[in-house]
A and B are shown apart, each in its own frame.
Chain A
Amino acid sequence: MNESTRDAFDQALDTREIRGRSLYIDAWHRLLKNKAAVAGLVVLVVMVLLVIVGPMLSQWDHEIPDWDHSSTPPSLETGHLFGTDAIGRDLFVRTMIGGQISLLVGLLATLVSLIIGVSYGAVAGYLGGRVDNVMMRIVDAVYAMPFMFLVILLMVVFGRNIFLIFLAIGAINWLDMARIVRGQTLSLKNKDFVEAARACGATEAQIIRRHIVPNLLGVVIVYVTLTIPQVILVESFLSFLGLGVQEPLTSWGALVNEGTQELETAPWSLMFPAGFLAVTLFAFNFLGDGLRDALDPKDRL
């Protein structure tokens, strides 16, 4: 092979390999084409910024009542943008603080279920055989339990502690995650590219790091975006019944509960927290659907 052909060859190789597009860059581009998902993402980013920055900018505190204005409708004059509740606390700040709690519970409880679910599912899937069988039978048995009622029972027994809410919800919500991760691991470990990596002399740790984990990540990301709204919903449900977050803290569910009680006299105290809650759940669902479409290679055929 002479110099010039080799140069041409190199050049050809060079132009061919401008930049590799990883699975995730690919998925990201596909996500950006999905308008509903992008809108969901934008709404969520704005929402997070708002609930964090909002209370700092407001002149009111979420606990201290404004004695001159109780149950006043939203107005710019009084400075209560969302109005006040029955004892004169500013609803804008309360909605933001409630949002912080709701989002925080959503994230932390999802994290708990993520950790339990991924390790349980990965172990079951990777070990396979009898261990897998027993572990999945346990999941089946727990799966059929009346989940919401058990969480309420936990709340009744251990009191209404906010950390317990994370744990209780997370500890019960890991089942789906475990099932999904197990299924994925099971199918991955028998794939040809894993076999090929093994044949090339990759170690077990390298295979897990380079091939199993990145391929699990997709389903896990999708599932996390779909779990967070579920968890927020469970927390709101508990708080709505008076079994979740307690005063002076609040959450969207607790605010909706207060709003429902003053429905006739002060409808705004329902509308704002309910609106924020619904919009957030909506955005998460759209984003989750979009991510599933973007990361699921099956639909690309």
Chain B
Amino acid sequence: MLKYSLRRLASAIPTLFLLITVAFFLIRIAPGGPFDGERALPAEIEANLAAKYHLDEPLVFQYARYLWQIARLDFGPSFHYRDWSVNELILQGAPVSFTLGILALAIALIAGVLIGAWAALRQNRPGDYAVMSFAMIGISIPNFVMAPLLILLFAITLGWLPAGGWDYSPTRMILPVVTLALPMIAYIARITRGSMIEVLHSSYIRTVRAKGMPEKEVILRHALKPALLPVISYLGPAAAAIMTGSVVVERIFTIPGIGTYFVQGALNRDYTLVMGVVILYGMLIILFNFLVDLLYAWLDPRIRYDDGEAEA
């Protein structure tokens, strides 16, 4: 297990390195500097600014400096909000974004697995078809369409819930969390249904049934755990989808999270802020994928043995 973990970790580091390198050079070859404004600045001031942000050094030095900064998790000053560092901006948005993301993921997992398993037990019956059609709709409707529709229905027409803003109160959280969770519920339900059907057709389930075990026991004790393995491997992409989705959701519901800063940064061409968020989210996704791989290998011994044999 330890060997497996180390090997997974070794493959995660090049990805992270690649990400930082690509981001750094993309920004540096970008046309237009961060200080291009309405008015041209006097040459001395420009030189001073360049010196302050080390833009006058050779690219290699800047790169090395940046790597060292990232290693200390310091994303430097924001180019747009002059008095703020990128870290301060991210830290301000982080609690909001993480609350949103974790709630959505938790709801998606619970609802998705329940719905998927329910549909699998009614394979090819009306209930199954109905649920899976809804899942298809959930996947096909993008969250930036779903969110305004939900606002239109629940906030404007019915007036039950607030249309936006953020204060950690459940009523304000319902719509954004639901928007974020819906497509994920649909995906997880589809995955669970598919793998559950496969598991239910396997011979050991037939054996257990033949031995007279009650159906409830068959499903809860024998079928559910292996059926959940594909769901676990979906958690990595799911985390990435939540991060991307939260950019849209935060914007529509005017929630002051990382995503809002990110979009503002992108529109203001705030290079350091955009790069900081890209790298932070990249790190989180890579870390999450790594943890999911470990969890998967822990739950399914076949993975780590297969991998070990392939290496030997």
Q: Is B312 an interface residue (CB 8 A)?
A: no
Interface string of B25-45 (1 = CB under 8 A from A): 011011100000000000000
Kindly state the interface size class of chain B when it binds its partner.
Answer: 35 or more
The smallest C-beta distance from A151 to any residue of chain B, in angstroms, reads: 10
B-side contacts of A141, CB under 8 Å: 11, 14-15, 18
B144 cross-chain contacts in A, Cβ below 8 A: 236-237, 240, 253, 256-257, 260
| B248 touches which of A229, A241, A270 (Cβ 8 Å) | A241
B142 to chain A, nearest CB (A): 6
Q: Contacts A256-B145, A282-B140; is A144 near B266 (CB within 8 Å)?
A: no
Residue-by-residue, is A203-241 near B (CB-CB < 8 Å gives 1, otherwise 0)? 000000000000000000000000001000100110011
Q: Which residues of B contact A144 (CB under 8 A)?
A: 12, 15, 285-286, 289
Stretch at the interface among A4-12, A110-118, A273-281: A273-281
A63: min CB distance to chain B, Å: 23
Q: A134-157 interface mask toward B, CB cutoff 8 Å, 1 = contact, 0 = none?
A: 000000111011111110111111
Known: A152-B274, A241-B266, A242-B267. A146 touches B140 (CB 8 A): no
Across the interface, do B148 and A260 meet the contact criterion of CB distance under 8 Å? yes
Q: Mark A253-268, 1 if CB is under 8 A from B, else 0.
A: 1001101100110010
- The residue in A147, A149, A278, A285 that gathers the most chain B C-beta atoms within 10 A of its C-beta is A149
Residue of B nearest to A159 (CB): B31
* Closest beta carbon of chain A to B150's beta carbon, Å: 11
Q: Is the CB–CB distance between B22 and A150 below 8 Å? A: yes
Shortest CB-to-CB span from A117 to chain B, Å, is: 19
The answer to whether residues A158 and B274 also contact, given A241-B247, A277-B142 and a CB cut-off of 8 A, is no
A 262-301 binary contact with B (CB < 8 Å = 1; else 0): 0110010010001001100110011000000000000000
Q: How large is the interface on A (under 10, 10 to 19, 20 to 34, 35 or more residues)?
A: 35 or more
> What's the least CB distance linking B140 to chain A, in Å?
4
Minimum Cβ distance to chain A for residue B138 (Å): 11
| Interfacial residues, chain B to chain A (CB-CB below 8 A) | 11-12, 14-15, 18-19, 22-23, 26-27, 29-31, 136-137, 139-142, 144-145, 147-149, 151-152, 156, 240, 243-244, 247-248, 251-252, 262-263, 266-267, 269, 271, 274-275, 277-278, 281-282, 285-286, 289
Question: 25 A–B contact pairs at CB < 8 A?
Answer: A141-B15, A145-B282, A146-B285, A148-B244, A149-B243, A149-B244, A149-B277, A149-B278, A149-B282, A150-B22, A153-B278, A155-B266, A157-B27, A157-B29, A157-B30, A159-B31, A229-B140, A243-B267, A260-B252, A263-B152, A264-B156, A270-B149, A274-B149, A278-B142, A281-B142
Given contacts A141-B11, A148-B244, A242-B267, 20 further A-B contacts (CB under 8 A): A142-B18, A144-B12, A144-B286, A145-B19, A146-B244, A146-B278, A146-B282, A153-B27, A236-B142, A236-B144, A240-B248, A241-B263, A243-B266, A256-B145, A260-B147, A278-B140, A281-B140, A282-B140, A285-B139, A286-B136
